[in-house]
């Protein structure tokens, strides 16, 4: 049983025959809907963070987020999001995210050894990324307290702080399974 979100406000639901218990709890998220008195469980497949699948879903979410579009309509600048290895993540990972005038023009999972440049590098250990996505850390407070590091024009980021918040809000909307 899977769900998939093809467009902004519509959900395509696949209802499977196998019992919910057959699916790995860690890889699923169980909801229920009521349809004419019958309660149906819905199981969503979660994208693993960090992964190429996750960053693509993130891009989809960014491009359907009107609040982000408005907040970042003058933003020009691409990012490398660096997820540093820590006790919970053995291999570091890097996302390339191209943000331009309220839209995300492209994303990529940067392969190990591959060199990719961007105007901004936002980096931090995996456990802090988890907290960020779960909204347990504010993105700017995260910078001020050293939980994350930023390379690039900090003042430009502070001027676009609402866009930064919206970006984090968007990350929280991606159905995420942490490693």
Partner 1 sequence: MWWFTSPKIVFGEDALEQLKTVEAKRVLVITDPVVTKLGMLELVLKELKHVTPDVDVFDQVEPEPSFENVDKVAEAVRRFRPDLIVALGGGSCIDAAKAAWILYERPDLKLEAVSPLTKLDLRKKARFLAIPTTAGTGSDATWVVVLTDRAQNIKVDYIASRELTPDFSILDPRFILKLPREATAYTGLDAITQGIEAYVNQWQNDFSDGLALKSIQLLFEYLPKAFDNPDDLLARQKTQNAATMSGLAFGNAQVGLAHAMGHSLGAIFHMPHGLSVALSNLYVIPFSSRGAAERYRDIAHTIGIEEASPERATARLVEALKDLMTRLNMPTSLRDAGISKTAFEQNIDDLVEKTNRSTCTFVNPRVPDVDEIRKLFVCTYEARQVDF
Residues near partner 1 (CB under 8 A): 67, 70-71, 138, 140-141, 143-145, 147, 150, 154-155, 158-162, 165
Q: Which ranges constitute the DSSP H helices of the chain?
A: 52-63, 66-71, 126-133, 139-144, 154-159, 161-173
Tell the residue number behind the tokens 């359907």, with chain if given. Answer: 64
Residue 165: CB minimum distance to partner 1, A: 5
What's the token pair of residue 179? 């490693």
* CB closer to partner 1, 40 vs 158: 158
Helical (H) or strand (E) element with 92: none
Distance CA 43, CA 126 (A): 26
**How many other C-beta atoms can be found within 10 angstroms of the C-beta atom of residue 174?**
20
* CB closer to partner 1, 50 vs 142: 142
Helical (H) or strand (E) element with 108: strand 103-110
* CB closer to partner 1, 8 vs 32: 8
Residue 63: CB minimum distance to partner 1, A: 17
Residue 23: CB minimum distance to partner 1, A: 35
Contacts of 134 (CB under 8 A, 6+ apart): 172
Residue 86: CB minimum distance to partner 1, A: 16
* CB closer to partner 1, 13 vs 140: 140
Residue 89: CB minimum distance to partner 1, A: 21
* CB closer to partner 1, 47 vs 171: 171
């Amino acid at each position: 049983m899977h769900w998939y979100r093809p467009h902004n406000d519509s959900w395509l639901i696949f209802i499977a025959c196998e019992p919910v218990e057959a699916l790995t709890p860690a890889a699923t998220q169980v909801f229920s809907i009521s349809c004419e008195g019958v309660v149906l469980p819905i199981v969503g497949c979660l994208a693993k963070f960090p992964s190429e699948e996750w960053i693509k879903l993130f891009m989809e979410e960014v491009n359907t987020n009107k609040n982000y579009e408005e907040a970042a309509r003058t933003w020009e600048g691409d990012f490398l999001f660096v997820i540093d290895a820590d006790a919970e993540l053995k291999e570091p990972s890097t996302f390339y995210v191209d943000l331009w005038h309220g839209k995300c023009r492209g994303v990529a999972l940067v392969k190990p050894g591959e060199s990719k440049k961007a105007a901004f590098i936002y980096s931090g250990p995996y456990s802090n990324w988890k907290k960020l996505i779960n909204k347990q850390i504010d993105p700017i407070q995260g910078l001020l307290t050293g939980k994350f590091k930023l390379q690039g024009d900090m003042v430009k980021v502070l001027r676009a702080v609402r866009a930064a918040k919206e970006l984090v809000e968007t990350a929280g909307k991606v159905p995420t399974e942490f490693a």
